Amino acid sequence: MSGKLFLCATPIGNLEDITFRVLRTLKEVDLIAAEDTRNSIKLLNHFDIHTPMTSYHEYNKIDKARTLIEKMQQGQNIALITDAGTPGISDPGEELVAMCYESGIEVTSLPGPAACITALTLSGLSTRRFAFEAFLPSDKKERRAVLEELKDETRTIILYEAPHRLVKTLAELYEVLGNRRMTLCRELTKRYETAFRSTLEELLAYYGKEEPKGECVLVIEGRSRKEMEEEAQQEWSAMPLQEHMAYYENQGIARKEAMKLVAKDRGVGKRDIYQQLLDSKE
């Protein structure tokens, strides 16, 4: 029988956050694949775990995945851990998981810490719907494209950022998104954990004087649907009424139906549109 891949969530700061199930699994598997073995050995030593380790990271994720899959096909069970948090979330674990499914290898995920969820629940912003973007792309063109997509995002937005890039990222977000409410979480679960509930503008001013420290999670309020509707109504209302009607009628839409659509676009009643059209004829 083939072995199995266990995705094991590890602490993002506080070692007490590891689960009993993860500890048992790390002791029982044949091999642990770790993003950085030098970092993970500290965790294993702390919990007196002596299972052999091998590296699995961004720069060997495809070739090493093939090797790991071969081992599992031979019957070995392998645990995958990242430096901190849940494997597959903003790390190369997703590649190994996909390749396991293609090879018929069973995969299971052991729940535990994840910085994005920890920050979201701590933020004080809406948690019902959210968009996780991890780190913004380093390529300027791609980065700008993602920011433009986020401009009209109505869900709460979650981003990761390193301290040395924080001010630049906050400035870009302010330029594209405007002055949104947000919570900046840093050093999550650690001794100096902080959650700044503020705005993009205020945080830019603060970090203009203070040096950013610690890995950060940015939780940003999504755009208001009402605000978007009002903005769209203003744009439609600026268009001449006859031109607005023609926009729909030229698509083969009947005049009565076009009037309904125009009324909806402008945020007024159909009767108002009818009367304005009558007045324009007169």
Query: What's the chain's average pLDDT?
Result: 92
Residue 34 pLDDT exceeds 80: yes
Q: How far is CA 144 from the centre of its chain?
A: 16
Q: What are 258-266's contacts with CB under 8 Å, separation 24+?
A: 262/236, 265/232, 265/233, 265/236, 266/233, 266/236, 266/237
Give the largest Cα separation in the chain, rounded.
Answer: 90
Residue 124 pLDDT exceeds 90: yes
pTM (global) more than 0.85: no
Residue 63 pLDDT exceeds 90: yes
Assign 235 a pLDDT band (cuts: 50, 70, 90): confident
Give the pLDDT score at 247.
86
Percentage, residues of the chain above pLDDT 70:
99
pLDDT in tens, 237-274: 888 888 888 888 888 898 888 888 888 888 888 888 87
Q: How many CA atoms lie within 13 A of 136 on its CB side?
A: 27
**Span 276-281, average pLDDT:** 75
Partnered with residue 132 across adjacent β-strands are 158
Residue 160 pLDDT exceeds 80: yes
Dist. CA 168–CA 221, nearest whole Å:
19
Partnered with residue 217 across adjacent β-strands are 160, 185
Dist. CA 176–CA 173, nearest whole Å:
5
Q: Which of 92-96, 156-160, 184-188, 271-275 has the lowest mean pLDDT?
A: 271-275
Q: Could you give the angle at the alpha carbon of 33 between the alpha carbons of 38 and 28, nearest 5°? A: 110
Give the pLDDT score at 282.
61
Sorted by sequence, the CB contacts under 8 Å of residue 27 that are 6+ apart come out as: 49, 51
Dist. CA 64–CA 183, nearest whole Å:
38
Assign 17 a pLDDT band (cuts: 50, 70, 90): very high
Q: How many CA atoms lie within 13 A of 111 on its CB side?
A: 2
| Strands of the sheet with 130-134, listed across from one edge | 130-134, 156-161, 216-220, 181-186, 194-199
Dist. CA 12–CA 41, nearest whole Å:
15
Q: What is the DSSP letter of 90?
A: S
Closest to 8 in 3D by CA, of 25, 29, 31: 25
- Identify the helix (H) or strand (E) that includes residue 210: none
Closest to 158 in 3D by CA, of 119, 197, 113: 119
Among 124-128, 228-232, 267-271, the range of highest mean pLDDT = 124-128
Tell which phi-psi region holds residue 65, choosing left (phi > 0), alpha (psi between -120 and 50) or beta.
Answer: alpha
Give the pLDDT score at 94.
92
Give the pLDDT score at 90.
87
Do the beta carbons of residue 7 and residue 80 sit within 8 Å? yes
